[in-house]
Amino acid sequence: MKNTLIALTVVASSFISALTPIQAKEIKLDSVAAIVNKGVVLNSEVSTLIDTIKLQAAQNNQSLPSDKALRTQVLDKLINTELILQLGERMGVQISDAQLDQTLTNMAKENNLTLEQFREGIVNSSMNYEAYRENVRNEIISGEVKRAGVGRRIYVSPQEIANLINVMKEQTNNNVEYRLGHILIAFPADPTQEQIKAEKSRADKVIELLNNGSDFTKLAIASSGDSTALDGGDMGWKGINEMPTLFSELVDGKSKDAIVGPIRTGLGFSIIKILDIRGREVVEVEEVKARHILIEPSVIMSEAKAESTLQGFLDDLKAGKADFAELAKEHSDGPTSSRGGDLGWADPSSYDPAFSDALAALKVDEYSKPFRSSFGWHITQLTGRRIQDATEQMNTRKAHNMLYNRKFGMESARWMKETRDEAYIEVIEQGDK
């Protein structure tokens, strides 16, 4: 976490430079782009992220807005990230190197690469791998902090779930998903009628540009006040019932490339473009039954000690010298220890990715080698597989997730705005001395 030490170092270095004899070679130092509470965002960070975005845009043959507009969006994102990381530091949220390595390994697997191949790909793209690695760590921390900060503000009642399930059953198109692009022309704090009118004019101009063939991604990066701006406004795939109600009523039944809006919300005027449409139907799922022994590393129990302890248990189990349930009751951390580590029947995708990957490689009654997940070190035994008609359970889970995601999107924007309003933020203009 950056802190005032960084700012003091920059100031001290500048002072020392001023005392250096005139004939000494001038060295350009890093400078502060923004002060965020007791931390700072450095211009080097802004430049690095801009370069990364430009590199990715070039690789994807994607156009970008002006450097000034791009810098504004990048600085805004970095300020938000700094605020969230500061919250994470106060909350004690930490991501160990082992957890980070596991995440990067999973990212590599998703691209059918080894971790070394994944690293080489980053380096070959002219990006610094260590910087990329730390950025992933910050993204994980930010996600944890955001879920904690926003999640506690959201409540999904059983009645809401029941009502949505009934609606889903009545709909004939509940298997249709839309990939949406979103541009938010945001209101300032406590906007006047004149300001609202001015933002409406901006939104209408964006609609006009889009209808005349302007690039949606470029306009989103340049104009959007939403957190998806640097992703070109891409909101990802969403079902009708997962979208905010205002969006779903206007998007439902529309065709690909349709542009909807401006839609007035409490945050500003939203403009939606349907980037793509797909259908999906899931009736049956494979469930797995497993049990595990979990050891959480600590000051007393190191990572290496946790792994070697589990390897000892595994050797005893294979030699018939120990009982899995008894070992779990005596040594396993977490709530399943009292049940002998039994996890019951579950959809494997509901588990930590490292855990589900370990189960996927096992045959029934087979043990895994010790492995690391975000919770700690495990050994697990797969005790069963079955194909289950999980329509009712899936509909309930799907309805809950839709309602939660619907509320999370709006609540997340409010939470971030409140966090910024409570913070001290000073943007240092490039020309400032």
pLDDT tens digit at each of 433 positions of the chain = 444 333 333 333 333 333 334 444 444 567 899 999 999 999 988 988 898 888 888 888 888 899 899 999 999 999 999 999 999 999 888 888 888 888 999 888 888 888 889 888 888 877 788 888 888 898 899 888 988 889 888 999 999 998 988 787 666 555 788 899 999 998 888 888 988 999 999 989 999 999 888 899 999 998 888 888 898 889 888 888 788 777 888 887 777 888 988 888 888 899 999 898 887 454 577 899 999 999 999 989 999 999 999 999 999 999 999 999 999 999 999 899 999 999 999 989 889 999 999 999 999 999 999 999 989 999 999 999 998 766 677 788 888 998 998 888 888 889 999 999 999 999 987 755 4
Q: What is the pLDDT of residue 177?
A: 84
pTM of the complete model = 0.50
- Smallest CA-to-CA distance from 275 within 304, 332, 302, 235 is with 235
Domain with CATH 3.10.50.40 in the chain: 176-280, 284-389
Centre a 10 Å sphere on the Cβ of residue 309 and count the other Cβ atoms it contains: 17
**Burial per residue of 408-432, b for 16 or more beta-carbon CB atoms within 10 angstroms, e otherwise:** bbebbbebbeebeeeeeeebbeeee
pLDDT tens, position by position, 14-41: 333 333 344 444 445 678 999 999 999 9
Main-chain dihedrals φ then ψ at residue 320, nearest 5 degrees: 75, 20
Place of tokens 């920059």: 10
- Which fold does the domain 176-280 belong to in CATH? Chitinase A; domain 3 (3.10.50)
- Smallest CA-to-CA distance from 83 within 412, 423, 427, 426 is with 423
Q: Which residues touch 27 (CB under 8 Å, ≥6 apart)?
A: 17
CA 390 to CA 369: how far, in whole Å? 30
Could you please report the per-residue DSSP string of 234-274?
Answer: EEEEEEGGGS-HHHHHHHTTPPTT-EEEEEE-SSEEEEEEE
**Burial per residue of 55-71, b for 16 or more beta-carbon CB atoms within 10 angstroms, e otherwise:** eebeeeeeebbeeeebb
Q: What is the pLDDT of residue 426?
A: 92
CA 252 to CA 173: how far, in whole Å? 9
CA angle 256, 262, 263 (to 5 degrees): 100
CA 130 to chain centre: 19
Hey, which residues does 210 pair with through a beta bridge? none
For 284-389, CATH number out of 3.60.21.10, 3.40.50.10190, 3.10.50.40, 3.40.50.11740 equals 3.10.50.40
Q: What is the pLDDT of residue 390?
A: 65
